[in-house]
Amino acid sequence: MKTRNKKGGKKLVVGFVGNICSGKGVATTYLAKKYSADTILFSQSMRDCLARIYQPATRENMQKISLLLRQNFGQDIFSKTVFADVQSSKKKIVAVDGIRRLDDINALSKLPHFILINLTATPEMRFARLKKRKQNPGDAKVTWAQFQIQDSAETEQTIAAVAQKANYVIDNSGSLKEFQKQIDTIVTKAQKK
């Protein structure tokens, strides 16, 4: 299976796996800005469903709808959606944010230029980031105990198994510049293959 961009060149697909607030969103945004990458989020279809039924896109609601959809349409429902989105992208680089399950990478790993990057950071650092970023409603009010519950939710439990499949690991405990430098090194290496 060849994956080509609109000019016929190879399409690099960079997937990110990591716990809550490990830097997946920052990494995909960086690739979009520096490399004009397309960004695809596993959570987007969940957010779309919740918006359509006028429910807030809280982490709890996304975990509920994820479970409901996977139970009724198969564990690979989001993988199939993301795979189709990747295939339709015309960009040279596609960044995929939020890979959490082995089913999520089954289709993507069949792409000839797919790499998986595991992002790590301490729980304390990730909690501090959650409080600052406010991506989902209620994030700023989350307590440490609530964060630990979210971090061990059903949707988070398979991350370690997926991380074991990663081609690269980035420790995102340092500065933003250090993080970006590590991403650049991996992208440059992957583009040469």
Rounded distance between C-alpha atoms, residue 163 and residue 165, angstroms: 5
Give the model's pLDDT for residue 88. Answer: 93
Q: What is the pTM of this model?
A: 0.86
How far from each other are the two terminal CA atoms of the chain, in whole angstroms? 16
Give the model's pLDDT for residue 173. Answer: 92
Tens-level pLDDT at each residue, the chain (193 residues): 444 444 446 899 999 999 999 999 999 999 999 999 999 999 899 999 999 999 999 888 998 999 999 999 998 899 999 999 999 999 999 999 989 889 888 889 988 899 999 999 999 999 989 888 767 777 788 889 988 888 887 778 899 999 999 999 999 999 999 999 999 999 999 998 8
Query: What residues contact residue 152 under an 8 Å CB cut-off, 6+ apart?
Result: none
Give the model's pLDDT for residue 2. Answer: 44
Query: What residues contact residue 121 under an 8 Å CB cut-off, 6+ apart?
Result: 18, 19, 21, 22, 23, 129, 171, 172, 173
CA angle, 30 as apex, 183 and 110 as ends, to 5°?
A: 60
Domain boundaries defined on the chain: 12-186
Give the model's pLDDT for residue 9. Answer: 62
Backbone angles phi, psi at 63, to 5 degrees: -65, -40
Cα within 13 Å of Cα(30), Cβ side: 17
Q: Which of 5, 16, 38 has its CA nearest to residue 100? A: 16
Q: What is residue 193's three-state secondary structure?
A: coil
Ramachandran category for residue 71: left, alpha or beta (phi over 0 → left; psi -120 to 50 → alpha):
alpha
**CATH homologous superfamily of domain 12-186?**
P-loop containing nucleotide triphosphate hydrolases (3.40.50.300)
